[in-house]
Chains A and B, each alone.
Chain A
């Protein structure tokens, strides 16, 4: 089946199987920043933005998003660059496997929530698991990114 996606601001056509998940379509087409971690929609490393909202691409059928907009980290490079400066200062990046997905979710949160509290940030990002950092360093980095108006 042919599916058209507006991916990172570029219309592209993909030939997919009916039961194929978006994460697999993307990886197969070299969007390698999209990863699988759990197979049960629990870990968040497959997150992409679908029409601007974070979704788990491991459990969305590609055919179901025909003619929609998909954003991977390649679509928000400037924001990822900036966020990573804050992560670097806090030493908050460890293995990095989950980081593109986390950055996409942080970016969506920044657009969606105005002046979020610490608790709101935690709850928004709760689906992005991290086994490395213990979260607190990440939170400091995210907070300082949100406050960075440069």
Chain B
């Protein structure tokens, strides 16, 4: 392999560092109307009266929009395929506001200052309602967050809004209660995970204009341009053919830009007025009014024989989706479906729970997508079980974990909102990942703790994880490759580059199959007019799904070029060999270069354009696997944690671009460490967001990370492009459990609630001391 699995600089890194124009707001029209949203100061209220007259009369104000301006069409902003597994429970604007930051009204005006002045002139009278802020009391609470009759689910998802239930699910393999009763050792623990903010550096933004064909053209910082086109068409009643969505360079997403946030407003304002418009979210709005991670309460029961064979796992989850049910069912299901198969030798496994509405900022897609929450509970429980068995926690894992060639019944049962897909693990190098990780971290020497002094203690901890590679039978990617007149190619993909490197790795895949160099493949991503469809950048789908689409396309184009070469050389296609530069007849030794061929078929010899479009939909979702090991130091007086090293050994099949794959893993590890140690979306007792700026919401900085050690297992997944599986999310899953296990190894306390702040650790130490007395 020449173009893939080699160190290749990203195709766009240089231009971006040199400051070239490229992000959404760089393309906003200079004369755009500015859109500002008035946001609810109450966590739950009904708008009794809204008077926009004075605002509308203000010079420079173009539109003031309230719920009365929009048709009563419920939709979901989730940015998923169709039909969506998320309930249609949102209106562009509504008479009810359901969290602090929910949209009350929107103003479009010629300047930001006039927008703000106009918003001050809008008079709103609220009927303030008692908010529901504790997700553990939401189910069947007398206060109902979504009483409106129009909302609905697209297919059965457990949607029961009268119970404040956005979704529910349960499944059981075997008989868990009987299996648990038959176990020598059983444990039960309840874990809590918090909301986390994505905090991509580019805030959400979108802008729109009407082009000279009278079509609506939207630039958006999005992960899902094709879903945006569909959802705008459905919710605003604009014909799909009238809409073009362009995704330029995106400054980070992590799931936070899968959904629609400003797109509805720029579309409506521009379609209505004919004038260009734009919306740029303030950082406060990004925190308060986009998405965060679903907080969960996870109860794990687990039982084993005294020799350490795990026989039963029972997992119940209560998930908080906030004010709207975006990704409610699917994130919650992934907390089981991409977690529980890790231990596939059980006699019985049960998974179930509910996703409830509260008056918090809505939760949505976020890297890991439930797997990080589920992994924290499962991999902490495994260490608890190992301790009770008096066994080495790594040995317990080795005895019970998924191996290559094996499967789990869960794959067939649990999909994303629907039934799943049975599959065998054709690649699973977990055993190698564990062994190599142990060596790299120095486990034998350091476990459970080392270098203990009066003030400090160092310790190690670990966890294993799995994710997926797209959603089988749902996620589809497509590509077009066009041959140019000097033998270089255009690669047009619907796949959405958001900074993760997809343009680069898809270029590498095309170059590999066409036996050329990355420099000769010109990539362009995500424009609903110009590129073929792709579901978008989510669910770890791009390398596997979109990558296979590019591979299929390149194969077909190569065949089409060989047909042309045979025609020009007057020979048979089957005799033609192609090495990337020359087409040669193996018998007659007649040959033509790609350069000459492309020139001739463009200008002089039965001219035609060679261009091929092909697509791919997965029939399986081969999971990447990893083992994560943390080496940390705890101050025994302040309980501050210092991460000394984090070792990741990852099986993601072939790494199409080893350095970019490493960047995906390491970026995710640090994002996971942030969630583990201090990141937390916090509210006041009255439901107002406290962590609404970067001073109150901390993410890891350079000084927080001492070292990361990242390696990849030698692995080749036959169903993936050149042996690759996906790698975007897997890195985020292990830090909570690995760090929790290391804290236990250091101090003998079990952390069951994230994040592991010094205060929480201290509290556990006090409890431990009280028990010991």
Contacts and interface: CB of A to CB of B under 8 A. Distances in A.
Interface of A: 32-33, 35-40, 42-43, 45, 72-74, 77, 80-81, 83-85, 87-100, 103, 122-123, 125-126, 128-137, 139
B17 A84 contact: yes
Contacts of A134: 663, 666-671, 705, 708
Given A87-B17, A97-B202, A134-B668, 4 more contacts: A35-B251, A38-B694, A40-B283, A129-B694
Given A37-B201, A129-B701, A77 B667 contact: no
B498 interface: yes
B499 A95 contact: yes
B59 interface: no
Contact of A37 (B202, B498, B499): B202
A122 B703 CA distance: 6
A92 B663 contact: yes
Q: In this complex, which of B283, B657, B658 has the most chain A Cβ atoms within 10 angstroms of its Cβ? A: B283
A73 B666 contact: no
Nearest to A33: B19
Interface residues of B, number: 57
B19 A73 contact: yes
Contacts of A135: 670, 700, 702, 705
Given A37-B202, A96-B499, A103-B17, A42 B695 contact: yes
B115 to A, nearest CB: 15
Contacts of B707: 136
Residues of A contacting B: mostly = loop
Contacts of B198: 131
User: Top 7 A-B pairs ranked by shortest CB distance?
Assistant: A91-B659, A95-B499, A88-B9, A33-B19, A97-B251, A96-B16, A134-B666
Given A93-B16, A95-B252, A134-B667, A37 B203 contact: yes
Dominant SS among interface residues on chain B: loop
Interface in B1-31: 7, 9-10, 12-14, 16-23, 26
B91 interface: no
B693 A38 contact: yes
A118 B211 CA distance: 51
Given A74-B19, A132-B252, A134-B669, A95 B201 contact: yes
Contacts of B705: 134-136
B693 A91 contact: no
Interface string B720-757: 00000000000000000000000000000000000000
B708 A94 contact: no
B17 A83 contact: yes
Contacts of B16: 93, 96, 99-100
Given A40-B694, A94-B501, A98-B201, A132 B14 contact: no
Interface in B275-317: 282-284
B662 A91 contact: yes
Nearest to A103: B17
Contacts of B500: 94
Interface in B199-231: 199-203
Given A39-B283, A83-B17, A92-B663, A32 B26 contact: yes
Interface string B656-696: 01111111001111110000000000000000000001110
B5 to A, nearest CB: 13
A73 B657 CA distance: 28
27 contacts: A37-B201, A39-B693, A43-B201, A77-B18, A80-B17, A84-B17, A85-B9, A89-B7, A89-B659, A91-B662, A92-B663, A93-B12, A93-B16, A97-B200, A99-B16, A100-B19, A126-B702, A129-B694, A131-B198, A134-B663, A134-B666, A134-B667, A135-B700, A136-B707, A137-B659, A137-B666, A139-B702
Contacts of A43: 201, 694
Nearest to A136: B708
B21 A95 contact: no
A36 B251 CA distance: 12
Chain A CB count within 10 A is highest, among B201, B693, B703, for B201
